[in-house]
Structure 1
Amino acid sequence: MTTDRVLYLLGSAAPPVLGIGAVVERAQAAGWDVCLGLTPTAALWLADEIDRLAELTGHPVRSRYRMPGEPDVWPPARAALLAPATFNTLNAWAQGITGSFIVGFAAEAIGKGIPLVTMPCVNRAFLAHPQFERSVEALRGSGVRVLLGEGGFVPNEPGQGDPAVFPWDLALAALA
């Protein structure tokens, strides 16, 4: 699928990423041309599915920066959804620590004015860390729509999460 409605779907290594193929299909049904990017760990978790996901999207799945001189294999993004966003990914993004491709893209997208939505996937213990609230506020202050709490992802107690109830529909709806 090629349209001018290009969505960069960027996922980090939290259990909901294991169902990312169905999310791609739902985004495509909503008219998006989806390009899938993953953190290196998420790509490792989905290693057996990478070829199928690339076929599904019609684009290579990316989990690393391109090498100097390599062409960009994705069309330009109209919007980006970074979900699930782990504690590590969200904090790195807010602090501009761009060690992974998806965080690097998301950090640069703020300056490019590309609409950004993120849905964290963290438990309540991570919420207690003082950096997390600062990171959420920094991203919101930069124009990122952070779906956390009512109307987004509601954190659970450690070890009590259910990837099947991750609110992907809310994340996709926030792109509209």
Structure 2
Amino acid sequence: MATLYLFGSAAPPVHDIARPVADARERGWDVCLGLTPTAHGWLAARTAELERLTGHPVRSAYKRPGTEDVWPPADVVAFAPATFNSVNSWALGLTGTFVIGVVAEAVGKDIPLVTMPCVNAAFVRHRQFERSVAELRAMGVEVLYGEGGFVPHEPGLSRPGAYPWDLLLDAVDRFRT
């Protein structure tokens, strides 16, 4: 069974992360769930449920040097929802968190990567965001943003239930080995 690392950051759709985990498992993926520290805090009360669903520990921090990894190696990494901060940190190589460190390193390991941002239109107007999306694409990351992916909403008008998780999983399935 191929292994999918599914990473999420602190945007409203992360509250529904159990649904894409279950859907990915139904599609035949062994799913390991990683969260940014803030997203992990948001979902802390559901950690046991998510660990039962995946069969693996939910991670938000680096392992200690010299300790065995509790996850199998990734065949594909998907990062969604990816916030403004996460997209920019990743593109700039700022690996201060476990999730960003793993995706940054995965580029150099040639592990297939898919990401789908979740940002509002005000963040998109910041020039760095488009630069970061372009940089990730130049590194070979499939960025599901704009037509055929996530379309930004105006601030305060998010619809977390409408986040297109199916687009993410369809992209991940294209990388199945």
Do Structure 1 and Structure 2 share a fold, with TM-score over 0.5? yes
Name the structure 1 match of 2:21.
24
Code of the residue aligned with 1:148 in structure 2: it is Y
Partner Cα separation in structure 1 for residue 53 and residue 162 of structure 2 = 23
- What is the aligned residue count? 173
**Counterpart secondary structure, 1:174:** helix
5+ residue gaps, structure 1, are none
In structure 2, C-alpha distance between the alignment counterparts of 1:72 and 1:21, rounded to whole Å:
23
Q: Distance in 1 between matches of 2:148 and 2:29?
A: 22
Alpha-carbon offset, residue 83 of structure 1: 0.2
Residue 143 of structure 2: which of 139, 143, 146 is its match? 146
* Inter-partner Cα distance in structure 2 for 1:155 and 1:70: 40
Which residue in the other structure is 2:41 paired with? 44
Residue 123 (structure 1) aligns with: 120
Q: Taking every aligned residue pair, what percent have the same amino acid on both sides?
A: 62
Match of 2:32 in 1: 35
CA distance in 1, matches of 2:165, 2:96: 26
The yes-or-no answer on 1:76 pairing with 2:67 is no
Are residue 163 (structure 1) and residue 160 (structure 2) matched? Answer: yes
Aligned to 1:105: 102
* 2:55 equivalent among 55, 58, 67: 58
Structure 2: which amino acid aligns with 1:89?
S
Question: How many angstroms does 1:143 deviate by?
Answer: 0.1
Residue 167 of structure 1 deviates from its aligned partner by: 0.3
Following superposition, which runs of at least 4 residues in structure 1 exceed 2 angstroms of deviation?
none
How high is the TM-score relative to the length of structure 2? 0.97
**TM-score normalised by the chain length of structure 1:** 0.97
**Among residues 5, 9, 13, which one is paired with 2:10 in the alignment?**
13
CA RMSD of aligned residues (A): 0.5
Residue number in structure 1 paired with 2:111:
114
| 1:87 paired residue among 84, 88, 93 | 84
Distance, in Å, in 2 between the alignment partners of 1:95 and 1:70 is 28
| 3-state SS, counterpart of residue 34 of structure 1 | strand
